Amino acid sequence: MTRSPFLLLVISLRLGCLMGHIVCALAVAGVYPSLSSSAQRRFVCWWSHGLLKLLRVQHHISGQPAAVNAAACLMVANHVSWLDIFALNVRTPAHFVAKSEVKQWPVVGWLVQRAGTLFIRRAVRGDTVHLNARMACLLRQGRAVAVFAQGTSATPEQAVQFHAPLLQCAVAAGVRVQPIAIFYHDKQGLWNDAAAFVDDTTLMQSLWKILCTPGIQVTVTYLTPLDASGQDRRTLAQMTQHAVNAALARHL
């Protein structure tokens, strides 16, 4: 599709502002681990809100985030886009679990490592066991942890299926699990696929599509928390995915 010179100029200016925002994150990343927990949370909230604003993605929240009042919470959300992390971080900063390949992303990989992201090597048998031990430790320390338990990104037309092993940490730590539904839409509330990071789309292709698509909105719905104490992880995964699927179905 041919872009007008004016639109290309606007997009170029926005890219310039985005680069400045990333430089700011790089500057802070060097000292980030030494900051207090409250300072880290404030910076992550501010930076995530700024990123969405620069990308012209309007952010909405529905429901009550449990991690705001009680940080020891495992947040389990459906996964649509790389923007999901920042859509959650606006209100509920957390230690996220990401695939190990994210480490190799230019600039972004280093930034997310400094922010305390946990990585899983999907091709390594038994890596989930070690990851669950680390997540359970963070939860016992009163930290919020977030996982996209589908294991991959998908559009909301596909029913969410969560992998039960990734919820074992909540059972071990005896904390609450909060299901979260993330939905990208237009001003009329209809599904908007511009932010979807699926199939063979590259990060730069996804970023360009987002910049070229006006009116993207995202609604993050925090659903009723579930008590993981004494629960079977399979049952917990089924309850969590049922809650998320029901919430997404109300949007579609």
Other CB atoms within a 10 A radius of the CB of residue 146 amount to 26
Instruction: Give the whole-angstrom CA distance, residue 176 versus residue 173.
Output: 9
Give pLDDT tens digits for 151-197.
889 998 889 999 999 999 999 999 999 999 999 999 999 999 999 99
What is residue 82's predicted lDDT score, i.e. its pLDDT?
92
Comparing 10 with 117, which gets the higher pLDDT? 117
Instruction: Give the whole-angstrom CA distance, residue 112 versus residue 117.
Output: 6
**Dihedrals φ, ψ of 144, to 5°?**
-90, 135
pLDDT above 80 (res 89): yes
**Dihedrals φ, ψ of 212, to 5°?**
-90, -5
Burial class (CB in 10 A: 0-12, 13-18, 19+), 191: middle
Which residue type does 24 have?
C
- Residue 112's pLDDT band, with cuts at 50, 70 and 90, is confident
Q: Which residues contact 136 (CB under 8 A, 6 or more apart)?
A: 168, 169, 170, 172, 173
Give pLDDT tens digits for 115-135.
888 988 877 777 888 999 999
The answer to whether the CB of 87 falls within 8 A of the CB of 52 is yes
pLDDT above 90 (res 45): yes
The answer to whether the CB of 171 falls within 8 A of the CB of 233 is yes
What is residue 37's predicted lDDT score, i.e. its pLDDT?
87
- Average pLDDT of 134-146? 93
What is residue 106's predicted lDDT score, i.e. its pLDDT?
76
According to CATH, the topology of domain 5-251 is Glycerol-3-phosphate (1)-acyltransferase (3.40.1130)
What is the DSSP secondary-structure string of 79-144?
Answer: ---TTHHHHHHTT---EEEEEGGGGGSTTHHHHHHHTT-EEE-TTSTTHHHHHHHHHHHHHHTT-E
- Residue 69's pLDDT band, with cuts at 50, 70 and 90, is low
Say what the pTM is: 0.92
What is residue 71's predicted lDDT score, i.e. its pLDDT?
59
Percentage of the residues of the chain whose pLDDT score is greater than 90 = 64
Q: Where do the domains of the chain lie?
A: 5-251
